[in-house]
Amino acid sequence: MYNMRLCYVIIAGLIYMNAASAQSAGAAGKEWHNYGNDAGGKRFSPVKQINDANVKQLKPAWVFHTGELQTYEGTKVIEKAAFEATPLMIDGTLYFSTATCRVFAIDAGTGKEKWMYNPGVNLKADYSEITSRGVSAWTSGAKADKKETRIFTATIDGRLIALNAANGKPIYAFGNEGTVNLREGFGSEWSVTSPPAIIGNTIVVGSSMGDNQKIDYPKGTVRAYDVLSGALKWSWDPVPKDSTDKAWQTWKNNSATITGAANAWSVIAADAERDMVFIPTSSPSPDYYGGERQGQNLYGNSIVALKASTGKMLWYYQVVHHDLWDYDIAAQPVLLDIEKGNKKIPAVAVGTKMGHIFILNRETGKPLFPVEERPVPASDIAGEEAWKTQPFPVLPVPVGLQHITEADAWGITPEDKAEAAKRIAQYRNEGNFTPPSFKGTIITPGNVGGIHWGGMTYDEKNRLLITNINRLAAVIRLIPREQLGELEKADSTLLRTETGRQRGTPYIMKRTYLFNATNTGMIMQTRPPWGTILAIDLRTGEKKWEVPLGYMMDPSKYPGAENWGSLNFGGAITTAGNLTFVAATFDNHLRAFNTQTGRLLWQAELPASAQATPMTYEWKGKQYIVIAAGGHGKLGTKQGDSVVAFALE
């Protein structure tokens, strides 16, 4: 029988030629072809119709409504749902996904819907996260009249789906009628929340899973598939399976056979020219107690360079040894060039929750700025062996909340401040990398950053690496499993804190933060700013500027609150117009800053909070700035269903 599917794959293979170069050219110009614009995640656009001289003239151009809130009805999705997507723009069409993984294509000039694809995610199932940060696109390099574009989406229920960009229909020849089941062999906990990386005809996908409820999560295997057929090309495990792997010895007592996670849930960066992908890994499970996984735990909490075509590991660099703090690499690695001694060196910048920024040689993984292994505090938990040292970059200078004392206590009233000082004083607090304890340990920065999943952007002309950060301390307490009920009866506040069951270990984890939750919102217990945006000069590694980002408290009620900054989730972008655009804050605004000075130039209120990264493009002679404004259920920010575009009047 004539095999139509095989015939289609062969034909598609013939039109694949030069796909990677075609995508790179589009990303470098007036469109936005990848989550970070280019596959290396710079989040920079050369478009400069909107610039520092005219940005104050920006006005809403169109608004698109996804109808997402209606999909939540009859479920508890709204409690977790977060609209974190950054759209792509290809050939006059925007492509993006919603929290429930519905995929939309809308007109770049008008915001009118072209098509919508609903993968039918079961919204009554339990997911650790309910979000999708965007989709990925592959375009053949054939002539315009024969060009094929595919949109790929990876879902929270563990599917990789290929869609025809023209009509949103699944591509029959990919996988099983358009879908690859990522959960097969890995179980029902397998989710994906970030767009996969595409390099040539290979699509590379990580995973998102919880990591503090048990020890035996699935291993965070990274897999690569053929973009045409969906056939598996290779897989790589951050928790080694093979005793011949040199990393095996870094897991004592064969613990690599029982622990899991260390998964790459953030965005993977790709370098087509060098046939490389850069994998940011997370903490092995469980993340706050490592007594069942003693050792350095390679390749967890590492940036790992793999050969894109084969999956062969080229090098790795671990940013946290034996993680006890949930210090996943949450930000997409940024591929850029560093100039040293009149020589241009290909580099990768790795931003971390610790506020540490590692600048590594892209080809070797060796640091390009000094890094020191420094002693850190020991654990006082029976069964735990905290690693004795941790890597500290000397340059770039660490950013964010590195240490606090009682002098950093803050409150609206003197009573609030006194309560904050008393609370800070009661916990173990020895600075960076203080291990969790029975009495409770202050973790600075907390597990939400420092640099969070919003990541960094790079302005190559000015050599500025720009990032927004959080300045929030976490409090981690371990409780012997058999004592939990008794302690909760004695201290009712424990019932209101987040619980990590850490099944398979002797201890339960309780996590909270240094703020008071009141009927009017969060009252922070450390002095502001609580969120900032800053620039690092990569010629020197020094900080060039830092300013507060947004606000969390109403300035009309609390004078000065506009300078106190806000917790923020979602990243910034830079443009050739000397502008840095960022939303991310609790106050529902999109803002533009002068890239060279950090001066706030423009802001506009959005219909809902925007825990997402903006993007920009030029279409039919007009530049647009676009942001997804749908809020965040876990954070309690204002939710909605808007995609908003701004342009000059």
pLDDT score of 348 more than 80 = yes
Q: How far apart are CA 539 and CA 312, in angstroms?
A: 32
| pLDDT mean across residues, the chain | 94
> Which of 602, 604, 603, 612 is CA-nearest to residue 639?
612
Average pLDDT score over residue span 8-30: 45
CATH number of the domain within which 108 lies: 2.140.10.10
The amino acid that residue 493 corresponds to is T
Torsion over CA of 16, 18, 24 and 29, rounded to 10 degrees?
-100
pLDDT band at 159 (very low <50, low <70, confident <90, very high): very high
Q: How far apart are CA 540 and CA 399, in angstroms?
A: 15
Say which of 326, 459, 587, 641 is annotated catalytic. Answer: 326
Distances (CA, A) of 606 to 44, 589, 609: 23, 6, 7
What percentage of residues in the chain have a pLDDT greater than 70?
94
The total number of structural domains that make up the chain: 1
Provide the pLDDT for residue 65: 98
Spatial CB neighbours of 183, under 8 Å, sequence gap ≥ 6: 157, 158, 159, 190
pLDDT band at 113 (very low <50, low <70, confident <90, very high): very high
Vertex 571 angle, CA 570 and 573, to 5°: 145
Q: How far apart are CA 430 and CA 435, in angstroms?
A: 9
Residue 622 CB-half CA count within 13 A: 17
The model's pLDDT over 122-134, given as tens digits with 9 standing for 90+, comes to 999 999 999 999 9
pLDDT band at 341 (very low <50, low <70, confident <90, very high): confident
pLDDT band at 495 (very low <50, low <70, confident <90, very high): confident
Vertex 178 angle, CA 312 and 271, to 5°: 30
Return the bridge partners of 329, or none.
none
The model's pLDDT over 381-405, given as tens digits with 9 standing for 90+, comes to 999 999 999 999 999 999 999 999 9
Q: How far apart are CA 167 and CA 117, in angstroms?
A: 9
The model's pLDDT over 567-624, given as tens digits with 9 standing for 90+, comes to 999 999 999 999 999 999 999 999 999 999 999 999 999 999 999 999 999 999 999 9
> Greater confidence, 8 or 520?
520
Provide the pLDDT for residue 517: 74
Place of tokens 């890994």: 281
Average pLDDT score over residue span 99-104: 98
Q: Which of 22-31, 141-150, 498-507 has the highest mean pLDDT?
A: 498-507
Burial bucket for residue 636 (CB in 10 Å: 0-12, 13-18, 19+): middle
Active site residue 326: yes
Tell me the residue range of the domain where 353 lies. 4-648
The amino acid that residue 55 corresponds to is V
- For the chain, how far is it from start to end, CA to CA, in angstroms? 61
